[in-house]
Amino acid sequence: MKVPLNIDWQQILLHALNFTILFAVLYFFLYKPVKDFMEKREASYKQQHDEAEQALADAKKTKEEYEAKIAGAEEEISVMKSEAGAKAAEERGKMLEQTRQEAAGILETAKKRGEIEHDKIIAEAQKEIADIVTTATEKIVLSADVKKSYDEFLKSAEGNTKNE
């Protein structure tokens, strides 16, 4: 039978055989290894991505935990601060009171001492005046020159006052 266009069934089958061989060769030597490599790489990147996401989630969680902890600590600190402030104020009040008392005591003793000193000075002065008067009287009595002795009395009195 004459087939149009010189179609040769045997050659068609030979072409088909050729293509099948080519398919097997390309599939096993080129397509599959490259595809496997790409899939492996994709999987590894996906794994990396998942791991990174997991790590991020963990980090967020820890961060929240720590933030909560910090907030608690801050509250504690403020409580402690106010307590400490109150204590300090109390202490200060006490100290102030004590100091005041001490100061009052010191003032008191100083006053007393001052008075004693004052009395002492006055007493000494009186004694001196008395001495001057006696010496003057003695001199007047001894010289009997009333006018002179009077003058001398005045002079000695003046000198004393000057000395003092």
Partner 1 sequence: MSKKRRIVSIVVFAVIILAILAGIYLLGKPQPKAEDLRETMRDAVLHEYMKVSLFGIKDVNPSLISAFAVTGILTVFALICRIFVIPRFTEIPGKFQMVLEALVDYFRNLGKTNSPEKHKLLSAYVFTAGVYIFVGTMFELFGIQAITTSGVSISLPAPLADINGAIAMGCMSYLFILFGGIANNGIHGFLGTIKEFSLPLSMSFRLFGALLSGALVTELVYYASFLSYGVPVIVGVLFTLLHALIQAYVLTLLVSIFYGEVSEKKLQKPKKRKRKSKAIVATDNTAENNTEVNTENSTITPEVSK
Residues that bind partner 1 (CB under 8 A): 5-8, 10-16, 18-23, 25-27, 29-35, 37-38, 41, 44
* Residue 71, C-beta contacts closer than 8 angstroms, at least 6 positions apart: none
Q: Pick from 110, 125, 108: which is nearest to 161 by CA?
A: 125
The least distance separating partner 1 from the CB of residue 49, rounded to whole angstroms, comes to: 14
Between 32 and 94, name the residue whose CB sits nearer to partner 1: 32
- Of the candidates 88, 160, 93, the residue with the CA atom closest to the CA atom of residue 131: 160
Least spacing, CB of residue 55 vs partner 1, in Å: 20
The distance of closest approach from Cβ of residue 36 to partner 1 in the complex, given in angstroms and rounded to an integer, is 9
Cβ closest to partner 1, residue 18 vs residue 109 = 18
CB atoms within 10 A of CB 139: 15
Distance between CA atoms of residues 122 and 141, nearest Å: 28
Residue 37, number of CB atoms within 10 A of its CB: 10
Q: How far is the CB of 1 from partner 1 (least distance, A)?
A: 16
- Closer residue to partner 1 in complex, CB, 30/129: 30
Q: Minimum CB separation from partner 1 for residue 40, in Å? A: 10
- Closest to partner 1 by CB, 31 vs 66, is 31
| Residue 164 CB-density burial (10 A; 0-12 exposed, 13-18 middle, 19+ buried) | exposed
Q: Which is nearer to partner 1, 16 or 103 (CB)?
A: 16
C-alpha 31/C-alpha 52 separation (Å) is 31
